[in-house]
Amino acid sequence: MSNVLLEARELHTYYGSSHILHGVDFCIHKGETLGLMGRNGMGKTTLIRSMLGLVKPRHGTVSVRGDVMTGGPTHRIARQGIAYVPEGRGIFPNLSVRENLQMAARAGVDGQRDWTFERVMQTFPRLAERINNGGGQLSGGEQQMLTIGRALMTNPDLLILDEATEGLAPLIVREIWRVIREIRDSGIATVIVDKNHAAVTSITDRSMIVVKGQVVFDGASTEVRNNPELIQKHLGV
């Protein structure tokens, strides 16, 4: 078995008549850390949603662990060990912190149970303090931790973080990056979408830059970091 977890070939996705993705190729391997960058509206989130079956691509294929699952049921793709932390967070406001976490608990694809309730509590001491609070009563940063914690409870092999630090206080952002690093070191492959390219390139092995629905760069993160022109051209504001 190859060690490609998630792969997309020649993806074309439309929202109504607007053509968002223009033939995107994507892949991520086991244990790899990938940064996905690009300005707003370039198609990063659409790419993720297309691969997870939340949006149906019009052309192209998506394969999960080598099996073609283009536009397939999202829950089945998720069951293949892919956890998604959506942009703008996604807690269940009418469930408590504990319930939010427990509803996601399951063993990973290979039966691994590395991430237990206790371990999530250790990783996020802030959540442990608020275990019986309703999800809707948490601060933005705490909600983000809860979303990441909930994703970990599914014992994924791949974690996709879409704008995990957006709109959070600097102290919380630092805490989130610490956790992302810890997740990476535990061997879970991660796709990180974030505006902070310095932070992304320092934490990831590989980077992709998307411009207007096309991949304009796919290579080592060090290459992006040492190339200010590339950053200025595609990511600068």
Partner 1 sequence: MNPRIALVLKLAALVGLIVFPSFGSSFYTEMVAKMLILGIFAMSLDLLVGFTGLVSLGHAAYFGIAAYTVALLTPKYDPANFWIALPAAVLAAAAAAFVIGLFVLRTKGIYFIMVTLAFAQMVYFIFHDTALGGGSDGIYVNFKPDATIAGWQPFNLDEPLQLYYFVVAALVAVFVFLTLVLRSPFGKVLVGIRSNEHRMQSLGYATFRYKLAAFTLAGGLAGVAGFLYAVLFGFVTPEYLSWHQSGNVLMMVILGGMGNLAGAVIGAFAFIGLQEMFADWTKHWQLLMGGVIVAAVLFMPGGLSALPGRVLKKLNQESKHG
Nearer to partner 1 by C-beta: 64 or 215? Answer: 64
Q: Which is nearer to partner 1, 80 or 222 (CB)?
A: 80
**Rounded to the nearest whole angstrom, what is the least distance from the CB of residue 197 to partner 1 in the complex?**
26
Residues that bind partner 1 (CB under 8 A): 52, 54, 73-76, 78-79, 83-84, 86, 90, 92-95, 99, 102-104, 106, 150, 154
Asked if 151 and 190 count as a contact pair (C-beta separation under 8 A), the reply is: no
Q: Which is nearer to partner 1, 161 or 173 (CB)?
A: 161
Quote the least distance from Cβ 151 to partner 1, whole Å: 8
CB of 12 within 8 A of CB of 3?
A: no
**Coil vs helix vs strand at 161:** strand
CB of 190 to partner 1, least distance (A): 16
Amino acid sitting at position 127: L
Least distance CB 103 / partner 1 (angstroms): 5
Torsion region of 40: left, alpha or beta (phi above 0 gives left; psi -120 to 50 gives alpha): beta
Q: Which of 171-176's residues contact partners 24+ apart within 8 Å by CB, and which partners?
A: 172/140, 172/141, 172/144, 175/141, 175/145, 176/141, 176/144, 176/145, 176/148
Minimum gap (Å) between residue 89 Cβ and partner 1: 10
Min dist. Cβ of residue 232 to partner 1 (A): 35
Q: Is the separation of the CB atoms in 12 and 70 below 8 Å?
A: no
Residue 23 or 134: the one with the smaller Cβ distance to partner 1 is 134
Task: Pull the structure tokens for residue 133.
Answer: 């609070």
Cα–Cα distance measured from residue 185 to residue 183, given in angstroms and rounded to the nearest whole number: 5
- Decide whether 79 or 178 has the Cβ nearer to partner 1: 79
Q: Which is nearer to partner 1, 74 or 222 (CB)?
A: 74
